[in-house]
Structures are given as structure tokens and as C-alpha cells.
Structure 1
Amino acid sequence: MRKITVAMVLFPGFQLLDIAGPKDAFAEVRILSHGECEYEMLTVGTTRGSVQSSSGLTVVPDRTIFDPCPQFDTVIIPGGLGIFEVLEDSTLSEWLVRQRRLSRRIAAICNGVFAFGAAGMIDNRTVTTHWMDAARLATMFPKANVEPDQIYVKDEGIYTTAGVTAGIDLALVMIEEDFGKKMALDVAKYLIVYVRRVGGQSQFSPLLETQGAADSQIQPVRQYLLDNLHLPHTMTSLAQRLNMSARNLSRVFSKECGVSLIAFLNDARIDAARRYLESTDHAVSVIARRCGFENADTLRRTFSKRLHISPMEYRQRFRSNDLGNAESGSKRDRVSEKV
């Protein structure tokens, strides 16, 4: 039997699914291999006694970071709101650094990567985290290269993932590395999940998160764009609304919003298209026109390039079952479209 020892770190306020998801995925390997392959999983607490998760359920760890531990092949630290309470814990940081040196690989799920940052482990490394924490991670650890759209990132022996269910994606990646693609596929089938998820985190997150101060001089043009996405805007026409030169508008907009005006407009149009796809039966051609895209093909290309998923795939994944509003009920808008 081939056995791989995995440590799962538990701190007060950890996300239970970050541990339970990978643990269940790893456990299936022994069942599906008829006992020929196995992950031996041990929970390691950062405190003595039981550890309460963010959901209120408690887990009694097998041992703690203060106890002697076997040499682990793989170490995984979950995310959870409690991670920010343990960042100053030098004992945990020292333990993680030691495990990084001794283990074949070490992984953080969701915002568990902040513990790696506090331990100085992600300087000059490419990492990811939950899209809601990506900006904070980049600010706190500026030497790290944060990729906010990735479901998981592997940089040498350091693995990081997006939030919560991405821990299962991580487990499947490790299973494939350890026991082959067929085993990973068999586990994915058993768990009824994709062995490789289509698209990145951007399909779940709003694209327009940073929009500058409400009292800024470009607020009027931002709001005008959001209210009139269907119009064929140009930098010159928008600059004229503010009595500014196009060059100055471009400079000021980028400075205050953190993105170019054109990038802002494109993201606003994609966000609007996503809302239509989620909540209406409108054909892609109708959505394209309402959101300011030249035609349906332009929407498809832009959407796929930005979100790494097609509009129709997005609709199938995120569409609401409640389409009782009058707009979606309009026969005129229920135009079938081949894609």
C-alpha cells in the first residue's frame, strides 16, 4: 500500500468545509483503490483541546503544533475568519516554516494564505485567495504576486486556492499528482464535481469593486456610463461632458479608479450582461445591444476573454429559476438563438 501523510491545521474560527471537503476527497482514494492507496490524515490544532470552527461545530485535533509530529508529506491550512486572529502567532509561523522545509508540499485554502504571508513564505511567489480577500492580501504582502482570478495556484511546493469549495479542487489536483488522472477523475465523479472547473473566480465576483470616491470630479462620468451602457461612448465625447481634455480625463480616471476608463466601461458592460443572463430569458443578441456591445459575437468574445467562460455556460450555471418578471416573460425577448 502506498500511503501519503497529510496534516490539516486547525485554528479557532477555521472554515469547516475547507477541511471536510479535501478530507472526504482524500478518503475516497482508499475506497476506490480497494485499499492499495491511502491518505493518512491528521488534524493539528494551534491550541490545546477542541477547536471551534466558524460554523460553531468543534473538532478535537489529533495533536497540536506543540506536540511531536511525524514527517508530513503534505500540510494544509484552511481559511476562515479566525485566520486574522492567529497572524501574530509566532509559534504557528515557525511551525509552518519548519513544515515547509520538511514537507514535499504545503497548501493554503482560501484566506489561509495570510498565515503563509505572516510567516514570510510568499515573498516573490505567485499565490491566490478568495476574490474578496485578494486586494487585502496584495496590500499586506506587497512582495507576493497575487492572482485574484485563479481557482488554485501552484508555485513550486506552495499551493494556494480560492475560497471554500476550492479546497476540493486542490485535493483533486493533489490526487492526480499522486495517483494519476484516472483516480482524480473517479473521485470527482463520486463526489459529483468537475475534475477541472471551467473559468476562474471572476465568474463569481463583481468586476466593478473599486470605483473611487463619491465626491470625485469623475463621479458624474462614471454614473453616466453606468446609466447609458448601450451608447457608443468615446473618450472625446465623455471628456466634453466634463469640460476636460481626453488626455486629462484618461489620467484622472485611472488615478482615482485604479483602472482605465475603457477597462471600467468594458467591465461595467460585462457585469450588466451577467445580470441579464442570470435573471432573464433575453437572447444574447438582445443582451449585447442593451449592454453596448456591437453584436452577439462581440459579447461572446469579450465575455469569454474576461471570464474564461461563454455567456451560455454562465447562464446555465448561474441563472435564477425565478423568472417571473414581466421583462423575461415577453414573447418578443424569448428569441431562440443558436450558440
Structure 2
Amino acid sequence: MNAMQRRIVIVIYEGFQFLDLAGPADVFATAAMLAGDSGYALEVAAPHAGEVTAHNGVTVAARTALADIAGPVDTLMIVGGLGTGQHLGDHELTAQIARLAHESRRVTSVCSGALLLAECGLLDGRRATTHWLVADQLSARYPQVEVDADPIYIKDGDVWTSAGVTAGIDLALALVAEDHGHALARDVACGLVVYLHRPGGQSQFSTPLNAQTPPSHSLRDLQAYIDAHPEDDLTVPALARRAGMSERHFSRVFTQQTGIPPGRYVERSRADAARRLLEATTHPLPTIARRTGLGAPETLYRVFRRHWRISPGDYRRRFQSKAP
């Protein structure tokens, strides 16, 4: 390893989520290729050296046992997976994670890897996120952790946690941006053909995921119409007419079947549309506000801050795609 390279140690174990390893590893490897000598040196370690089988059946060779790794480490990353819960009582694993954490500049987790950090006491008194499926488990088992299941990733001091699976890519891109600047992170994202890394405050739930799929075929069609036509009249009266219902009945049925009032769904859908335009175009903010049905830049600003905790201008400066 070159002395200028940042040492990344990714911890895996039986039953881990393969993409929790592969996604961040490819981000760091691509960044290393682009950054040269100042990039990253990646190590994959497990409780015991040798073959480790992911939950999907793919076998990975961990060349190093955790006990054989000595600091200093730049970034320690703990992956998650459906097998994580089975390892919370593995004192050998958690002891090695705790040891390495104290020898690392920063500590990170992907998905349910946050459970292992919490088991080591590394999240005590900190705000953290994880896969939404295990957020309740994290909160109940470790009440000293402030669990926020919504963001894609959270940085609290020198500890970073991310949401489920593909959010590990967003986390890794954010780490690259912190180390080398947003320009390199953009180049890595373009090289991997993924979304430019999303701000940590962005919800891990997109508009379709944030709403339940309604059993009614007509309401599913209406959701698709809303998402495809943000600039149209999407008021409750207009939507009720399109659905062939009275306004009161429509509002009640839509909310019952999707879990979200129609007005809130429309706002979030328009916010998603604005986010995509900010990433992919150079349209001025008044044009984006008009084309997404938000009307004025002031409304765009308020909606954007409410959903992603960042201004539209800051989002564009950080995450706009490069011109081809």
C-alpha cells in the first residue's frame, strides 16, 4: 500500500449482503483508479480468513482475519445483510470490530451493519440510520441510539451509517467527496453509471415506495399520471374528476389505499420531478418550478428544504450531472 493511500477495511461475515460489499468496494476502487497515488487501498476481512458465503450464495475469499489486522485504519466499514442478527452474540466478531474502531479515523456501516456497531456501543448517544426493515429492532434493542430510519445516510462525528443495500453506494460516494471533493465523486458516479450521490438527508423512500400500492387499478393509473404530469392541474377536485369520484370520497379512498393524502403525494411527486431536473438539466429555477407544477422558485425552495433538507441551488451545485 502506498503511504498516501487511504486504507479501507470492509468487514464481512457469513450471510452478509453481497451488494453491501460490492457497491462500496467498486466506488473506492474506481476512485483509486482516478485519484492515483492519493486514492484507496481496500482490504476485505472476516472473523476467520478464507471463504465467506453471502446470503445470495456467492462465496468471497477474505484473505485476512480480523485479529490479524493492525491499525491505523482510515475507514472501517461494517456490511449488513439478513445474517446480521445471528452475529450479534458473536463476541469474537464484536470485540474485533470495537478494537479496530478505536484504531480507525472513521467508522461506517451499511444497511443492518449498524446493529453490529450498536452492539459494540459505537452508536451510543449518536444519531444513526439503517435499513428500514430493521430500524425498529435497532431502536428497541439499543435505546441509547437515536434511530432515524428515513435518511439515506447519516454522519454523526466520525461515525457514518447508511440505509439498506444500494444506499451503501451513496455512502461510499459521500466518503469519496469528503476525502477528495465532489468533482471526483461525480466522476466515480458517472463511471459506475449510478445517480450522482444523493445528500444524506434525502429519504431512502422514493415517492412510489413512500406510498402503498393501491389495490384499485384506477388509483394506480392515477398515481402514474401524477408522476408523469407534475405540471398539470393536480388539485383534489381535478384528481377526483379524473378518478370519477366526489372530492370527499376520493380523498378518503386515496388516503386509505396509499397511506398518504393526495395533496402530500402530489407535493412529493413534484419534488422528485424537480430533483431530477436539477440533476439532469441547466434550466433556471423559475423554469423548473413552473415545469414541475410548483409555480414559483420560493415554493420550490420550501418544498425542497422540507423533503431533502437542502436548497435547490445547493443540490444542483453538488449533484448535477456533467454534460456528455
TM-score (norm 1): 0.65
Q: Which position in structure 2 is the counterpart of 1:196?
A: 197
- CA deviation profile, 1:285-304 (whole Å, cap 9, x unmatched): 457434529xxxxx897347
Answer whether contact 1:29 1:37 (CA < 8 A) is retained: no
Q: Which position in structure 1 is the counterpart of 2:114?
A: 113
In the TM superposition, what is the alpha-carbon distance from 1:276 to its structure 2 partner? 3.4
Aligned partner of 1:310: which letter?
A
In the TM superposition, what is the alpha-carbon distance from 1:30 to its structure 2 partner? 2.6
- Alpha-carbon separation, structure 2, partners of 1:73 and 1:179: 14
Aligned partner of 1:9: which letter?
V
- Alpha-carbon separation, structure 1, partners of 2:144 and 2:5: 36
What is the 5 A alignment of 1:146-295?
146-197=147-198, 199-203=202-206, 205-206=209-210, 276-278=222-224, 285=233, 288=236, 289-290=239-240, 291-292=250-251
- CA deviation profile, 1:24-64 (whole Å, cap 9, x unmatched): 1111123223x232211011112342100011011111211
| Structure 2: runs of 5 or more not aligned | 241-249, 253-260, 278-290, 294-324
Q: Which position in structure 2 is the counterpart of 1:78?
A: 79
Q: Which position in structure 1 is the counterpart of 2:12?
A: 10
Is 1:310 matched up with 2:310?
A: no
Is 1:30 matched up with 2:32?
A: yes
- Alpha-carbon separation, structure 2, partners of 1:338 and 1:176: 29
- CA deviation profile, 1:174-224 (whole Å, cap 9, x unmatched): 11111111111111111122233274123264467xxxxxxxxxxxxxxxx
- Alpha-carbon separation, structure 2, partners of 1:308 and 1:158: 32
Instruction: Specify the SS of the correspondent of 1:91.
Output: helix
- Identity over the aligned pairs, expressed in percent? 32
In the TM superposition, what is the alpha-carbon distance from 1:72 to its structure 2 partner? 1.2
TM-score (norm 2): 0.68
Answer whether contact 1:127 1:147 (CA < 8 A) is retained: yes
Instruction: Specify the SS of the correspondent of 2:72.
Output: coil
In the TM superposition, what is the alpha-carbon distance from 1:70 to its structure 2 partner? 4.2
- CA deviation profile, 1:218-272 (whole Å, cap 9, x unmatched): xxxxxxxx99xxxxxxxxxxxxxxxxxxxxxxxxxxxxxxxxxxxxxxxxxxxx9
Answer whether contact 1:300 1:310 (CA < 8 A) is retained: no
Instruction: Specify the SS of the correspondent of 2:56.
Output: coil
| Structure 1: runs of 5 or more not aligned | 209-225, 228-271, 294-298, 317-336
- Alpha-carbon separation, structure 1, partners of 2:150 and 2:71: 35
CA RMSD of aligned residues (A): 3.4
In the TM superposition, what is the alpha-carbon distance from 1:309 to its structure 2 partner? 6.2
- CA deviation profile, 1:122-152 (whole Å, cap 9, x unmatched): 1211000111211221111111111111000
Change (3 A) 1:183 1:274: farther
> Number of matched residues?
253
- Alpha-carbon separation, structure 1, partners of 2:148 and 2:198: 17
Answer whether contact 1:44 1:64 (CA < 8 A) is retained: yes
- Alpha-carbon separation, structure 1, partners of 2:266 and 2:197: 17
